[in-house]
Chain A
Amino acid sequence: MNETTERVLNKLLDQHRREQGNLISLLQRIQDTFGHIAEEYVDWFAEKLDVPASKFFGVITFYPKFRTRPMGKNTITVCCGAACHIKGADKLLDAAKEALGLTGDEDTTKDLAFTLQKATCIGACSVAPVVILNKQVHSAMDPVKVTKLVKGYEREEFLGYL
């Protein structure tokens, strides 16, 4: 681990101690800072706080939002709740995967431009199916629109109205 990283970790540790935060808030802070939670960070904190690393991993693997792998710059989330499911969410997922060139269980493009995620229900059922690009919700989507959304965003090109 290099010096800069260690300095950042020390800062997070101070903040954590000062605010008497809990494990979730600490992990959230690590993820907000680095984009993901690498094993070495966990080991570092485990030692400093004298909390077994297994406790950390217990929480990390429990909540889908915590990631141990790097995250892409942009996040595209396909809602897979019930209302979206019956309106073809799986087809949107396939379209997004294809547009991003992801295979197998990959969720992030090699250039770290995009991460593809599934959401359970985001509560926008009345405009299903929905796709969320970063923070913007896109309603009543279909595979063609998803392809345009992803490809157009990536290359910052105009590929027709959404």
Chain B
Amino acid sequence: MANDSIEIKVCLGTSGSAAGGEEVLRLFKHHVQEQGVEARVGRRCSPSKVGCRGFCSKDVLVDVILDGSKTTYQLVTPNMVERIVLEHVIDGKPIAEWTVKEEYASFHAKQHKIVLGPCGEIDPESIDDYIAMRGYRAARKAITQMKPEEVIGQVITSGLRGRGGSGFGTGEKWRVCRGAPGDVKYAVCNIGEVNRPLAEGNPHAIIEGLLVGGYAIGAAKGFLYIRERYHRSVERLSIALEQARERGFVGRNIFGTGFDFEMEFSFGTEAFICGEETALMESIEGKRAMPRVRPPFPAYAGLWGRPTVINNAETFSNIPLIIGMGGEWFSKIGTATSKGTKVFTLSGKVRNNGLVEIPMGMPFREIVYGIGGGIEGDKTLKGIQVGGPSGGIIPTSMLDMGLDYEHLARVGSIVGSGGMVVFDEDDCIVNVAKFYLEFLQRESCGKCVPCRIGTKRMSELLTKITEGKGEENDLRTMERLAGVMATTSLCGLGRTAPNPFLTSFNHFRDEYLAHIREKKCPAGVCTALITFSVLAEKCKACGLCKRACPAGAITGAPKQPHVIDPEKCVKCGACYRACKFKAIKKA
């Protein structure tokens, strides 16, 4: 990467490639060659792919870096490529109407990208790109200059806590495992769905982190546990692992120190329970993924009964930074007890959907309005789901709360894996809680009674409420159930399963009561509780609704207001969406 070369970087993360990134990259390569760009401008120019840079709603994003100045184009389609090559790359005139707008800057302004830094800058399939930005230097430093205890000491100083589930101190976990008796130890990296952008944007950081972890605890083998269906992540990680092995970063006698560390994939399946560490180990061993009773903790007796450390890919991605920059440096980011940054996907009804990294402790208001750019279509924010299905729903009254382990625990939620879903006035909270409980019921492994039966009964009661058959007594039953599940379930899945109900019920009591007492769904989502009718004064008798109706429930002569037959109506909402005059009333 010489300074005077022209760089063209095409986003090829999951979203970039879904938007047609592969074709865009192919065309850039084609036109650069076709136009003889390198000969005409006398500089090297090679279009390359990069991982996700976050602003997914405007993909395909393309960076053109010319004379050190970077121009980013958004929503690039194949037919825009030729003009960009001709006018910008060759003639040096950026095409202003296609470049990113202010929201691209405001989306990134408040973020603090340390883990995601290289994503979107380097080619994830090139180890040289990673090494050029000082990759594997931290591993070299740790393995050649530091004792394992010193590595663990730095991680403890950093204050890094697990980014997956419970937020246990990473250094502490490593220290216990290092001290556990036994010659054979294992290090496992769990790559969940939210870690996909890391695996696709900067896979070498995960490998380097796992390598350092293996060295610190004294393991000779590491596992990359990943769901098979994440094709692109698997592909990029396999390439990275192969390259690391070729360079001697993985295998025998690493950095000439005599330290041996092997790494292999273990392909998991898409079962939510596999995120629980003991269930994950059962799955690696080839069994039904049912959690084990703890103690003994995995740090003493994990995979095949050997001491094992399990961390997720985001946790491991932080390790090279901590070793390279020092635990002290890392501990200055974040709050007193939650250090570093958190990566998550911002999704739902927020204007700027995308992949985000913020310092721990940032208030939700800043995330939603600063980074997210507010709510789509100027609707009103209702709540924010954090921590995945077993997290909790944060109401608007708590927008000024910071995102960190302590604050979230206090409101009955968890930092969790890192999905953040924003709900607006059109989302029914009871329906959302029902959705999560149904999911958790399906994913419950069935080993312990409180979780197996508790999730079933809870989703049944929530369904009953959304169907307008709920009674106030049901709410008390659910609260009691929640208490039993939270205290007596075997693993984290069961213990946190009542969270979606408890947090939503605590903050949105009125909405639950409206469903039960008035048999109304204020958001107009629960089909059993809504009716569609035509507002005669607004109806222009255009017939659009009549044509859209799949049930033949709408009748009306030309120039006469149309009528919906409530007996025939299947409440699909097709008429509501079809009407251009807002003449269909949903209540």
A residues lining the B interface (CB < 8 Å):
21-25, 28, 58-59, 62-66, 81-83, 85-87, 119-128, 130, 135-139
Contacts and interface: CB of A to CB of B under 8 A. Distances in A.
Contacts of B223: none
A65 B353 contact: no
A63 B286 contact: no
B286 A123 contact: no
Nearest to B22: A136
A123 B270 contact: no
B285 interface: yes
17 contacts: A59-B287, A63-B271, A65-B269, A82-B348, A82-B385, A82-B389, A82-B419, A83-B347, A86-B427, A119-B229, A120-B270, A120-B272, A120-B439, A120-B443, A122-B230, A126-B347, A139-B19
B585 interface: no
B346 interface: yes
A86 B288 contact: no
Contacts of B193: 81, 121-123
B18 A139 contact: yes
B349 interface: yes
B448 interface: no
Contact of B345 (A23, A62, A126, A135): A126
A139 B197 CA distance: 16
B15 A127 contact: yes
Contacts of A135: 231
A17 to B, nearest CB: 14
A75 to B, nearest CB: 10
B2 to A, nearest CB: 34
Nearest to A64: B270
B353 A127 contact: yes
Contact of B57 (A23, A121, A126, A136): A126
Nearest to B194: A123
Given A82-B389, A85-B435, A86-B421, A28 B285 contact: no
B8 interface: no
A17 B55 CA distance: 48
A123 B269 contact: no
A3 to B, nearest CB: 29
Which of B197, B270, B271, B389 is packed against the most chain A CB atoms within 10 Å? B270
Interface string B162-197: 000000000000000000000000000000111111
B123 interface: no
Contacts of A85: 435
A64 B196 contact: no
B17 interface: yes
B435 A82 contact: yes
A28 B286 CA distance: 11
B15 A65 contact: no
Ranked nearest first, the 8 interchain pairs of A and B with the lowest CB-CB distance are A22-B286, A123-B193, A125-B347, A126-B56, A83-B347, A126-B353, A139-B18, A137-B18
Contacts of B15: 124, 126-127, 137, 139
Contacts of A28: 267
A79 B439 CA distance: 13
B421 A83 contact: yes
Given A121-B419, A123-B14, A139-B18, A86 B271 contact: no
A113 B59 CA distance: 31
Nearest to A83: B347
Contacts of A63: 269-271, 289
A123 B288 contact: no
A85 B197 CA distance: 21
A24 B345 contact: no
B270 A125 contact: no
A82 B436 contact: yes
A87 B427 CA distance: 10
Nearest to B391: A82
Nearest to A130: B18
A60 B445 CA distance: 13
Nearest to B353: A126
A137 B17 contact: yes
Contacts of B192: 123
Given A63-B269, A123-B193, 18 more contacts: A24-B283, A25-B286, A62-B445, A65-B229, A82-B389, A83-B345, A120-B270, A120-B272, A120-B443, A122-B14, A122-B193, A123-B197, A123-B230, A125-B419, A126-B57, A127-B19, A130-B18, A137-B15
A128 B283 CA distance: 29
B512 interface: no
Contacts of A126: 15, 56-57, 345-347, 353-355
B501 interface: no
Given A86-B432, A121-B419, A122-B229, A23 B287 contact: yes
A130 B59 CA distance: 14
A71 to B, nearest CB: 14
Contacts of A138: 18
A86 B18 CA distance: 20
A150 to B, nearest CB: 17
A66 B95 CA distance: 50
